[in-house]
Every structure is written in structure tokens, then in C-alpha cells.
Homo-oligomer: A and B are copies of this chain.
């Protein structure tokens, strides 16, 4: 999660909402990404979507088996949907997102019994650090 936070800090300095993600397989980081919505002017360039895209390209497989995704903010509907589609077995996130989170806050896509994959979810790891970074960003943005 420290490496995901490093990615979030990279987003921060670019003027992006600071969210970062990494995918780990067999104890090794195979992909890392941060939010790039503004930089790329692209609504789908959330950290999680990009890191899944990169990991699939690296593994030449749409199934990201034996992988864990670490992300600094609770995934939104798009990103939670992508996690299910990629069959990622384990998701760890830091801060909750009461406004748009889709892993328990607004929706709980990762726990939906009708879908064909339900990852293990760990919540709150380094949540204070990730939350503080987001608070600092939005405080600066309002100035």
C-alpha cells in the first residue's frame, strides 16, 4: 500500500485527485498506476482501471489470477466492475469513499452474489495517510 500511496502522490503533484494503485503477483509488483483523468482528459483513466489494463497486457491474459490489487481509495462502480471482470482474487483499499464507493459505500459490487466472481476485500490499510492526502488535495483545490 505504501507503493500505491507513492502513485497517489504522483497524481497529487499533477493536479489529479490523488489515487494510486498497484497489482502484486507472487510478492512482486507487476503494474502501477495513478489517476490521470485530467492529464489525459479521459474519464476511464482511474488508477485501478489503468493498473488492470497494464497487468493484463503484462500477463497476456484477461484473467488476473493470483493477483492482489492495492488501491488508496475505495473503487468506484467502473473500477469495482473491472475487478470482477478480471477475476482478481484479493482487493485491499485504504480510505472509504462515501460519495461513489462501490465496495460497500454506495454499491457493493464485489460482494454481489449474482455476479460470477467475489474477491476477498480488506479495508482500511493506511486509510489515515490516504485520506489525509485526499483532504490536502481538496483543501488546496478550493483555494
- Tally chain A residues at the interface, Cβ within 8 Å: 40
By a beta-carbon cutoff of 8 Å, the part of chain A in contact with chain B is 37-38, 40-46, 49, 52-53, 56-57, 60-64, 76-82, 84-87, 99-100, 102, 106-107, 109, 112, 114-116
Distance in Å from the Cβ of A79 to the closest Cβ of chain B?
A: 7
* Among B42, B56, B99, B102, contact of A44 (Cβ-Cβ < 8 Å): B56
Q: How close is A122's CB to chain B, nearest CB, in angstroms?
A: 20
On whether the beta carbons of A114 and B109 are closer than 8 Å, the reply is no
Whether the Cβ atoms of B43 and A85 lie closer than 8 Å is yes
Cβ distance A66 to chain B, nearest Cβ, rounded Å: 15
Question: Nearest CB to that of A59 among chain B residues?
Answer: B41
